[in-house]
Amino acid sequence: MGAVSANLRVFMMFAVLTVIFVIVGWVVGEYFMGNWVMGALVFLVIAAIMNFVSYFFSSKIVLASYRAKVVTEADAPRLYRIVRSISSTAGLPMPKVAIVPSQTPNAFATGRNPKNATVAATEGILQLLNDDELTGVLAHEMAHVQNRDMLVMTVASTLAGAISFASRSLLYGSMFGGGDRDNGGFLIALVIAITAPIAAMLVQLAVSRSREYKADYEGAMMIGRPMSLAKALRKLEAGNKARPMTVGNPASSNLWIVNPFSAKGLANLFSTHPPMDERIRRLEAMAGGMRF
């Protein structure tokens, strides 16, 4: 059932984001190519290629975008030891382990299934957290591995980023002389440039927040210490606000255990992560013997 529901989530994610991408193509074709059918078909082909690439190569793309380096046990014995212990406890294959060269304290998991998973931690989180807290964070990431969440979130990140890029390109093209301004090309481009990335973000939201709550719960259950993760989340929230990440694409923020990018004002309304206070409250309730 877990694999079936995961595959259904992937299919729905592919379908909805592809539709949004094709809509952008329709507008490009109508106002910049003179043929909406051609624009929609071109973007449909691009979306199909991106879906294929996302499924098979998105993990490598994400790791490369953050300059993450896959390490051996000799390179990172502490990190390797904790991940191996959690994997053994959960009955999961040992994933690859990677380190991101960033002082922003954070972690994520990626890969299309448990056999092809990679768990990545930043240099900052290794310095900030003690072993107990780091175990809580990595158990959360292994829960994502167990639930096959990584593919869903990685695909969402890749396609949402493409939608944002295509929408901005459409707007810039209309601003600098492209398109049919007499028929409202610029206005249409402006509307698409604003609404398409928001729609893609809402698709991410529909999945990401519930996945984070579930990974908090199941990760805490794996190690039997909800407060380990709760303490880590408090430190990570403060650490990421003090030192937000400056590399990578904000569209991939849903991959990380906490949002590593600076978000102010309206951006907080569209956060792919649940409110931190609520995540901690639920973990504290677990520690007190209560269920979510």
- Domain of 231, in residue numbers: 2-287
The pLDDT confidence band at residue 242, using thresholds 50, 70 and 90, is: very high
pLDDT at residue 265 is higher than 50:
no
> Phi/psi class of residue 289: alpha, beta or left (left: φ > 0; alpha: ψ in -120 to 50)?
left
Asked if 280 contacts 230 with a C-beta cutoff of 8 angstroms, the reply is yes
Q: What pLDDT sits at residue 216?
A: 97
| Euclidean distance between CA atoms 223 and 218, whole angstroms | 9
Residues marked active site are found at 141
Q: Domain count of the chain?
A: 1
Q: Considering the domain boundaries, does residue 96 fall inside one?
A: yes
Q: Considering the domain boundaries, does residue 173 fall inside one?
A: yes
Identify any residues that bridge with 110 across adjacent strands, giving them in sequence order: 118
Q: Considering the domain boundaries, does residue 253 fall inside one?
A: yes
| Euclidean distance between CA atoms 269 and 263, whole angstroms | 9
Q: What pLDDT sits at residue 144?
A: 93
Please give the C-alpha separations between residue 267 and each of 198, 226, 264, in angstroms, as whole numbers.
Answer: 10, 29, 6
Q: Considering the domain boundaries, does residue 292 fall inside one?
A: no
The residue type at 179: G
Mean pLDDT for the stretch of residues 96-103: 97
Coil/strand/helix, residue 263: coil
| Euclidean distance between CA atoms 207 and 9, whole angstroms | 8
Q: For 41-99, what is each residue's pLDDT tens digit? A: 777 777 778 767 777 887 888 899 999 999 999 999 999 999 999 999 999 999 999 99
